[in-house]
Amino acid sequence: MRHLLTLSMVALAIAAGGQALNTSQPPAPSTNGGKQITLPAGTTVLLQLRSPITTKNARVGDSVYCETNFPVTQDNVIIIPAHTYVKGQIVQIHRPGRVHRRAEIQFHFNTLIFPDGYTLQMPGSLQNVPGSENSSVSGDEGKLKSNGQKGKDAETIGKAAGTGAVIGGLGTDSVKGAGIGAGLGGAVGLATVFLKRGQEIRLESGAALEMVLQRPMAIDSARTTAVHN
């Protein structure tokens, strides 16, 4: 009997020791990615275009590929590093016509891909195209429009009218002839203008773009920290 009690006490001591050992082990690492940092709506992100875009052959649904050209910071911490990929999609396009002579294109940015592969859905629109000489952004939705050509069209018509006046004056040696020639030349110039389409929009690879966040965007702070380690 005493032998059985001794064995039972040894078994209990071993079990108790095992439990004490287990409770002293460190807790399993948390799978939580950490707190989130929220970039507010209106945050501007400077991009560089990686694929050329032109209204001549672009189609609705085509992808737009860019890369951040400068880091985005908040509270002295880099939230979006340079060389983060940004993907978008063309949602509207209008080629210049002979009457409506201004080209238009609109695309939205929707995906952010960090250098380590961390991917986020993102609501962004075009805010500006710095350095563009023939187009500008209009409205809150980021529609890019080619600049008007009224000055160039008037110049074309004026040159044609002037040439016609000279030819008419030389042919008849009179003011009346010059007037007739100017009228005919102006008509030719007008026809020349409306036989051609307006100016296309073309953005070359490497063009600078400014994107603006349309809504707040939450980013896992642990993932942004991992990018810098």
- Give, for 186, the enclosing helix (H) or strand (E): helix 175-195
Q: 53: which 2 tokens?
A: 């875009």
**Which residues of the chain are under the pLDDT cut of 70?**
1-34, 97-101, 148-197, 224-229
Tell me how far apart the alpha carbons of residues 151 and 134 are, in angstroms, rounded to a whole number.
13
C-alpha torsion angle, residues 30, 36, 37, 38 (rounded to 10)? 170
Tell me which amino acid residue 93 is.
I
What pLDDT score was predicted for residue 133? 80
Q: What is the pLDDT of residue 69?
A: 94
| Superfamily, domain 36-149+199-228 | Type IV secretion system, VirB10/TraB/TrbI (2.40.128.260)
Whole-model pTM over 0.75? no
Q: How is the chain split into domains, by residue range? A: 36-149+199-228, 151-195
- The pLDDT, as a whole number, for residue 183 is 52
